[in-house]
Amino acid sequence: MFIVNVEGAIFKNGKWLIIERSKKEEHAGGLLSIVGGKVENEGNSSDILERTVKHEIVEEVGVEVKDNLKYVHSTSFVTDKGERVVDIVFLCEYSSGEAFPKSPDEVERVLWLSTEEVLNHPKSPIYLKESIKRAETFIDSAMNT
């Protein structure tokens, strides 16, 4: 069985909303990430991935995104504790709110970075770089539909 995790790559004015994960986090503490979290068991439910990513974004950084989420890609990984995770990334269009570390146990700080800044940042893990590169390929088509 897998833990299902969703993440939202939020793009606004040429920059990505990136968080520095709290050092208290068991997985990837202190590293950069896009906002996201685990999908909760809701029983029979519609649009659970989309609703979860939108909820996590509001909960962690206080930002609202539009409903037109676009699937970017999925990956799997194993945490330091041996948990198997499937991670799904969505491209999200910013709607409203001022990003801040609303959940300090999860988010150390909030940054708006260009693709180049993400790719060259010393705290950017390879999977974040891959997600941002893939999400960027969707920007022109996704945001204009």
Average pLDDT over residues 100-124: 94
pLDDT tens, position by position, 79-89:
888 999 999 99
Q: Which residues contact 56 (CB under 8 A, 6 or more apart)?
A: 6, 8, 35, 36, 37
Stated pTM of the model: 0.90
Percent of the chain predicted with pLDDT > 90: 75
Percent of the chain predicted with pLDDT > 70: 94
Domains in the chain, ordered, with CATH? 3-142 (3.90.79.10)
Longest distance between any two alpha carbons in the chain, whole Å: 42
Selection from 3, 1, 4, 8 nearest residue 97 by Cα: 8
pLDDT tens, position by position, 17-61:
999 988 777 677 789 999 999 998 877 878 999 999 999 999 999
Selection from 46, 10, 48 nearest residue 132 by Cα: 10
Residue 143 pLDDT greater than 70, yes or no = no
Q: What is the DSSP letter of 34?
A: -
Residue 65 pLDDT greater than 90, yes or no = yes
Mean pLDDT for the chain overall: 91
